[in-house]
Amino acid sequence: MNRRNLVIWSLYDFATTPVAFAINAMYLPLMIISAGGNYEVVGLLPLITGIVATFWNPFVGQIIDSSTDRSRTRHLVIILSVVLATVSIVGMVMLPLLNALVLLFGTMSIGVQTGWTAVNSYLASETRKTRLGSASGFGTLMGYLGGGIGAGLAVVIEYMFGMNYSLLFIACFLLTFGIAPGILLEESSETMGSGKSIADGLSDSLDVIRRSRSLKACLIASILWTDALSTIMTFASLIAIDVLNVPESNASLFLAMALPAAILGGFVQGKAGDCFGLVNVMIFNLVFWSAGYLLIMLYGAFIPIVVISTVAGFALGGSITLTRAIYAKILPRGFEGRLFGIAAMFFFFGGAIGPFLTGLVAVLPYMTLRTALIVPFLFTIASVPFLILVDENSVAFEYVTKHNHVL
């Protein structure tokens, strides 16, 4: 991938990260509570979208891989997904009722996830396997830069004009920058698809996963470690207010303090992964997650906010970079769309289990949101044994050698 396409590709991260910062982590949980919901409802939202992603994204990937012109199909998928997510955000402003918020959040997330499958299949197709950490890290850097600019301006607009105008700004931000990759990306590799039917293409993909220990281990591990990221993003504003005792008026400031560490964590850990191994650096990242959860569970509001923000931000940025880079590196060529679509089943559905269980545990007798963080902590620890089984350099060669496929 040349520098021009790398920058254009990264604009999807630039456009969608403010959605995660401002809507998923900051506004939506508070809107759900204001509309009569509770922690269980907040935790249920990612589960709903994860279930839909399980059935939807593999078909999106197969449509891209099997189309007569993969480039044109990929571009169309990106454009339509951004438009769908944008319209859903506008709908949240117009219908701030509990049931409507749940439905519109699900639709918005499905749109973002669909585009995620398309843009990351492009990353796997166009980037040399030896530089995936750096490329993914640049995307993360741009994502959090967009998050800082977009969410930061959203907070200013909220202060001046109210939350509804802030949500509309995020919708415009997403549409403006998110649609650019769907229009401007160029593909240097062969754009003709496999020509296989959806059923045959998905069958081939499942065969690749079945025969590869590393792919199976990576997908299982991703269910577990994605819980940490999704739980933090889902409950971030509520953790700040209810656990760390940050005043509600300063909750957005707490999230903003994590941004510099997230940018640094994503970029540095991506570079380090190319030098020392993506899997090795991911294990290091999981140690950071574990330390952050322990700090909050044991000491809560007694820890300086800057420490919590720094640890969480550094780990969060690295998680996004390394998750994408590890999986892209172990895919055989020609399977990028299908296998990233299948990965969405694990990344997004896996990331829904933790928030759901965390919200459920938090409302049990004698439990609080602080003690409920034991759920993602245990999931993080459990992912390490599976991650150790991933050989990031063998999967494509192993599958091609055994089945006489040509890369």
Read off the pLDDT of residues 357-406 as tens digits, 9 standing for 90 and up: 888 888 888 888 888 888 888 888 888 999 998 888 765 444 444 544 43
Supply the pLDDT for residue 179.
93
**pLDDT tens readout for residues 203-220:** 777 777 777 888 888 888
- When pLDDT is averaged across residues 339-347 and rounded to a whole number, the result is 71
Instruction: Please state, in angstroms and rounded to a whole number, the distance separating the CA atoms of residues 260 and 244.
Output: 20
Instruction: Please state, in angstroms and rounded to a whole number, the distance separating the CA atoms of residues 42 and 5.
Output: 37
Supply the pLDDT for residue 180.
93
Give pTM, 2 decimals: 0.73
Supply the pLDDT for residue 177.
94
Q: Is the pLDDT assigned to residue 253 strictly greater than 70?
A: no
Contact, 117 vs 340, CB < 8 A? yes
Q: Is the pLDDT assigned to residue 59 strictly greater than 90?
A: no
Contact, 330 vs 214, CB < 8 A? yes
Q: Is the pLDDT assigned to residue 3 strictly greater than 80?
A: yes
- DSSP-assigned letter for residue 332: P
Instruction: Give the pLDDT band (50/70/90) at residue 12.
Output: very high
Domains of the chain: 3-184+198-403 (1.20.1250.20)
DSSP class per residue in 144-186: HHHHHHHHHHHHHHHHHH-HHHHHHHHHHHHHHHHTHHHHH--
Supply the pLDDT for residue 196.
58
Supply the pLDDT for residue 193.
52
Supply the pLDDT for residue 351.
63
The percentage of residues in the chain with a pLDDT greater than 90, rounded to a whole number, is: 12
**pLDDT tens readout for residues 185-205:** 887 655 555 555 666 666 777
DSSP class per residue in 212-277: -HHHHHHHHHHHHHHHHHHHHHHHHHHIIIIIS---GGGHHHHHHHTHHHHHHHHHHHHHHHHHH-
Supply the pLDDT for residue 399.
47
Supply the pLDDT for residue 404.
46
**pLDDT tens readout for residues 160-187:** 888 889 999 999 999 999 999 999 988 7
User: What average pLDDT is seen over the chain?
Assistant: 80
The percentage of residues in the chain with a pLDDT greater than 70, rounded to a whole number, is: 84
**pLDDT tens readout for residues 274-325:** 888 899 999 988 888 888 788 888 877 677 777 777 877 888 888 888 888 8
Contact, 174 vs 81, CB < 8 A? no
Q: Is the pLDDT assigned to residue 250 strictly greater than 70?
A: no
**pLDDT tens readout for residues 36-47:** 887 777 777 766
